[in-house]
A and B are shown apart, each in its own frame.
Chain A
Amino acid sequence: MKLIKILLTISLLSLMSSFAHADFEAEEKFVSSFADNAINILGSDTLSNADRSSQFTDLVMRSIDINLISKFVLSKFWKAASDEQKTEYLEAFKEYFIASYASKLDQYSGEKVVVISSEASKKYVIVKSHIVRDGTDTLKIELDWRLLNRDGETKIIDLNIEGISLIIAQREEFQSFLNNHDNDLDALIDKLKSINTKN
């Protein structure tokens, strides 16, 4: 009797965990297909530079909620900005952001992002994954993807590399820059533009 109870509990538990897993299956697939595509495009030898950059831009625009990210990283300065500044900033930031993601993901070209698990975290879904370092099987780099579902569409809003959230780092960086430049948003926009032309 006791044995049956235990077996029942175990099977129930495993059933529950498989259901819990199935909840975010779509999100997990979304992340692994984004990561595969990104690494393939960036590491491709057959694409011209222009094609590579246009395909990567296309992919990022489809998968990442850049409107929300642009505003979030600017925090309180977004609300104080004039309409003109907002237009200019959004355009400069988009180019800056895509280039910065490209160079961060480019380091992993030729490697495979393996999705491990996913969990709900407040209104977000966190998909956990890792990259196994070349030539080893136990040295791993952990990547967590933060996803948000809005209006029926799932988009990436953050990439966390080994505990470091890129969006939070970006926000702190912009805050710090503005604090050191009399809170002048135009100075930040100029800086972004000058980095963009360099790239």
Chain B
Amino acid sequence: MKSKLVLLFVLLSLSISGCASITKDEVLAENIATQKVSDPLEPFNRMVFSFNNVFDKYALRPVAILYRGVLPEFARNRITYALNNLSMPITTINNILQFEFGKAGISTARFVINSTIGILGFFDPAAYFGLEASSEDFGQTLAVWGIPKGPYLVLPLLGPSSPRDFTGLLSTSLLDPTYQIGNTANRELFRYYKMGTSTVNFRSENIELFDDLQNNSVDYYAAVRSFYNQSRNSQVSDNLEVSPSVNQDNLFNDFEEFDLDDTYIGPDISIDYPE
């Protein structure tokens, strides 16, 4: 308990110092700068990535396929909603740490309404009242405070991450209010169930996507790295109220340049039909 208080204090003081020294624009600039891929640990990361793929191939993917085969769509959607609902208390904490008090109100209201009227979060009546919110984690909060992301990191079993996101993950597992219910044994059990379910649920929603990436990539590792980095960057853009597409504009700056100063355009691509 004491360690949690210390952590909360550290987080709060970080937030205050972060806000004093960094403006939204600077955070945004940092965010755009980090869209340049930083992967100094690539050889190590590739090793862990291969290990994770073996685990995925023989354990996670088969379980995800079984999960999707056994549970009807209705049940899987209920589980997605319930997991979403369980992420609301920690989202509220993050909303507050990001000084988004309006959003904190919405995520609290969502949790109260969906846990009761929505029957333990299996349904989402709050959305019908116009209360919509996306989950927020500590990684995003640290980003809003202007903490740099650091190099790309592939963690054993946990997958793609960064020092900033890993710190966020550790803080979440310590501070998430839904992990504080019941006695120690129940708490641990609940934590494993929740983590296991959300992992399998996520994997089952992305079976085709990962199959496609694995079969059709010229470099699967680089494809996953790009997906992870882009996805996290766009979540942070959302926090900063910038549309992710607009945020990517600068990456498209040299798009037309290829036509402007290139004398050779290549053959006109004709349409020929594969068998």
Contacts and interface: CB of A to CB of B under 8 A. Distances in A.
Main secondary structure of the interface of A (DSSP, over half): helix
Contact of A164 (B74, B227, B266): B227
A180 B218 CA distance: 11
Given A103-B212, A173-B223, A83 B275 contact: no
Given A53-B273, A61-B271, A157-B255, A169 B230 contact: yes
Which among B73, B81, B234 has the highest number of chain A CB atoms within 10 Å? B234
A144 B244 contact: yes
Given A86-B264, A198-B215, A50 B246 contact: no
B83 to A, nearest CB: 12
Interface stretch (A9-17, A22-30, A33-41, A64-72): A64-72
Contact of B255 (A68, A126, A195): A68
Contacts of A177: 218-219, 222
B231 A135 contact: no
A72 B273 contact: no
A182 to B, nearest CB: 14
Contacts of A54: 273-274
B233 interface: yes
B77 A136 contact: yes
Interface in A169-193: 169, 172-177, 180, 188, 191-192
Interface in A87-132: 87, 90-91, 94-96, 99-100, 103-104, 106-107, 119, 121-124, 126, 128
Contacts of B216: 96, 99-100, 103, 195, 199
A126 B219 CA distance: 28
Main secondary structure of the interface of B (DSSP, over half): helix
Interface size class of B (residues with CB under 8 A): 35 or more
A172 B226 contact: yes
A188 B230 contact: no
A160 B219 contact: no
A106 B216 CA distance: 14
Interface size class of A (residues with CB under 8 A): 35 or more
Contact of B208 (A72, A107, A150, A175): A107
Nearest to A75: B254
B242 to A, nearest CB: 11
A140 to B, nearest CB: 10
A152 interface: no
B267 interface: yes
A21 interface: no
A174 B81 CA distance: 37
A198 B274 CA distance: 13
A44 to B, nearest CB: 16
B262 A71 contact: yes
Interface of B: 37, 73-74, 77, 80-81, 124, 127, 132, 208-209, 212, 215-219, 221-223, 225-227, 230-231, 233-235, 237-238, 243-246, 248-249, 251-252, 254-256, 258-259, 262, 264-267, 269, 271, 273-275
Interface of A: 50, 53-54, 57-58, 61, 66-68, 70-72, 75, 78-79, 83, 86-87, 90-91, 94-96, 99-100, 103-104, 106-107, 119, 121-124, 126, 128, 133-139, 144, 146, 148, 150, 157-158, 160, 162-165, 168-169, 172-177, 180, 188, 191-192, 195, 198-199
Closest 4 CB pairs of A and B: A163-B234, A176-B222, A54-B273, A71-B258
Given A53-B273, A163-B234, 17 more contacts: A66-B269, A70-B266, A83-B264, A91-B269, A99-B216, A119-B246, A121-B249, A122-B249, A135-B73, A144-B245, A163-B230, A163-B235, A175-B222, A176-B37, A176-B219, A195-B216, A199-B216
